[in-house]
Amino acid sequence: MWIIPALACLAFAVFTMLAAPSLLTRGTWQVRHPQLALGLWHGAVLGGSLALLAAVALSVVAVLNWEHDEGSWLSGFEIALASVFASAGLIAMFGWGFIITRRSGRAFADGRRANDELRDAARVLSYRDERIGGALVRFVESPSPHALAAAGPSPVVIVSSGLEELLTRQQLEAVVAHERCHLVRFHALAQRLAEVNEACLPRYAGAKNLSRATALLIELIADDAAAEQAGADALAGALDALAGAGAGAGAGAGAGADGDGDGVLVQRARRLRTRAIGDTQPLRGGAGAETDAPALGD
């Protein structure tokens, strides 16, 4: 009866595809626990994918181990169902495997190249290098206030002269701590995986929701890490200063993708200040039912 566990795995895969996005976007718990929310989002995708692969594998096993029982009509129906599902599943699996391999390879290659170019440019243009909170920080001349995290073999945080002039020293250290969190927790990889998933399933709303939620949640995770290291007031002040300077469209501490970045920065600053009293407000950005703004990203 291999077909029964195969159907159970298929049902679980369908459930995660249809129900997980709705369940994971209810309430405001994601804003309070972004690390848990990010793990559940990616866990649902991984679990659903593994369940689908298991369903195909079990169907193949059912076909290979089938023994006809002349006294049972169910035996013939079972093998017919298993054969159809196994054949369709194998074709789909190889097809999607080819698509995922091509698109993920291209996406990761583009990401590595972009990081390499960013690190090289920062090394050439830097007018000062400094260690701040365990991170190598390169300062570059630019009137626009921004900070960027460039991952790779030699990760670096890039800070513009405009940002250094805008913020106090404590606020600058908070922004660097935020960027360093992205580096040490491999947030770029999580975002890249979500983008590859969306590219492979462009018409599936859940894939788009995963990409949007990932982009916002990694910002909230980095906010929490920076607040713990450098102080919530310092980071909140930095976010408010960036919003006041109109830097929401490109600020390293979380840029809006739709031109509403300044508003998102203000909301994130408010979140940091209200966490201590437990008054968590819905945050627009894609992590919850009331978060419908496009995702954020550094």
String of DSSP letters for 34-60? HHHHHHHHHHHHHHHHHHHHHHHHHHH
Q: Which of 122, 218, 212, 228 is nearest to 174 (CA)?
A: 228
Q: Which amino acid belongs to residue 55?
A: A
- Mean pLDDT computed over 250-265: 55
What is the tally of structural domains in the chain? Answer: 1
Cα(174)–Cα(236) distance, integer angstroms: 9
User: Whose CA is closest to 243, among 266, 226, 267, 274?
Assistant: 266
As a whole number of angstroms, the distance between CA 178 and CA 42 comes to: 22
CA-based radius of gyration for the chain:
23
Which of 43-47, 72-76, 151-155 is the least confident region?
A: 72-76
Burial state string for 34-73 with b = 16 or more CB within 10 A and e = fewer than 16:
beebbebbbebbebbbebbebbbbbbbbbbeebeeeeeee
Confidence of residue 297 (pLDDT cuts 50, 70, 90): very low
User: Helix (H, G, I), strand (E, B), or coil: what is residue 168?
Assistant: coil
Residue 256 has pLDDT above 50, yes or no: no
Mean pLDDT for 157-184 is 96
Q: Provide the token pair at 248.
A: 């929401």
Mean pLDDT of 71-90: 67
pLDDT in tens, 123-139: 999 999 999 999 999 99
Q: What are the pLDDT digits (tens) for 18-53?
A: 888 888 888 788 999 999 999 999 999 899 889 988
Length of the chain as a residue count: 298
Burial class of residue 210, CB neighbours in 10 A (0-12, 13-18, 19+): buried
d(CA 195, CA 215): 10
Q: Evaluate if residue 254 carries a pLDDT over 60.
A: no
Residue 214 has pLDDT above 50, yes or no: yes
Confidence of residue 262 (pLDDT cuts 50, 70, 90): confident
Enclosing domain of residue 263? 3-297
Distance from C-alpha of 262 to C-alpha of 254, rounded to nearest angstrom: 9
Asked if 247 and 164 count as a contact pair (C-beta separation under 8 A), the reply is no
Check pLDDT > 80 for residue 90. Answer: no
The top-scoring range by mean pLDDT among 60-74, 76-90, 275-289 is 76-90
Q: What is the pLDDT of residue 236?
A: 96
Lowest-pLDDT choice from 103-117, 209-223, 238-252: 238-252
Confidence of residue 101 (pLDDT cuts 50, 70, 90): confident
Which of 15-29, 142-156, 199-213, 238-252 reaches the highest mean pLDDT?
142-156
The predicted pLDDT at position 255 comes to: 42
Q: What is the value of pTM for the model shown?
A: 0.79
The mean per-residue pLDDT over the stretch 203-220 comes to 90
Alpha carbon distance 190, 87 (integer Å): 32
